[in-house]
Structure 1
């Protein structure tokens, strides 16, 4: 599998997550044992996730090779940030589920780049 395909597929994951946060945020929050909210911030996060998903989708579908290794760095940063948030007890450890998905996606892309 090409690195571009890994980024393209990760974009679809981001689309799904972003749409869920935008449309039914409390479903996702309660599923991952996080406090539900009626505040708009979670929907704002959904919009941002959708926008990032668009970048990933475009980079993957157009094989924008300069961006592919940058996604590895960004996704490792997301994992590390979420891990620190959990260690500082700012959030539920369930946030690491999303961080691990980012980390696994980063490893997948990195391995594809090495081929």
Structure 2
């Protein structure tokens, strides 16, 4: 598995773990964000969706799907931007940005790995 695929697999595992938390212990996860307890099913639906999306990341990493790797970068940046928008415009708790920062960091890691891969084998990404 190449470095870029590894970044995608690692992010996929993070998404699956987050999804499992939302599915199995949603109020623990919400409490960490400073969000009131949820009694509705929507948060578990979101957790289920995250598990499936995380699986896609892991499967695409195993298949070395470079088109997917590239597509995740603007998607993860958009997730961060949308989270910031929700905090600024919709009164979401600021801690939501922490989840977005994980996406932003993952996007940067994948982008850096793709750049290094394009420059040739054994290349270390520039700082």
Tell me if TM exceeds 0.5: yes
RMSD: 1.0
Tell me the equivalent position of 1:53. 54
What does the per-residue CA deviation read over 1:45-90, in whole Å, with 9 as the maximum and x for residues that have no partner? 0011011101101111221111101011110010000010011133
In the alignment, is residue 39 of structure 1 matched against residue 40 of structure 2?
yes
In 1, Cα distance between equivalents of 2:70 and 2:49? 21
Structure with the bigger RCO (C-alpha within 8 Å, sep 6+) is 1
Match of 2:67 in 1: 66
Q: Does 1:79 align with 2:68?
A: no
User: Which residue does 1:7 correspond to in 2?
Assistant: 8
Q: Secondary structure at the match of 1:74?
A: helix
**Match of 1:26?**
27
Q: Distance in 2 between matches of 1:32 and 1:76?
A: 20
| Structure 2 gap ranges (5+) | 117-127
Cα distance in 1 for residues equivalent to 2:106 and 2:37: 27
Paired residues in the alignment total 115
Structure 1 consecutive aligned stretches of length 4 or more whose deviation exceeds 2 Å: none
Give 1:113's aligned residue. 114
- What is the aligned partner in structure 2 of residue 96 from structure 1? 97
For structure 1, the residue ranges without an aligned partner over 5 or more in a row are none
Larger radius of gyration: 2
Query: Could you tell me the TM-score, scaled by structure 2's length?
Result: 0.87
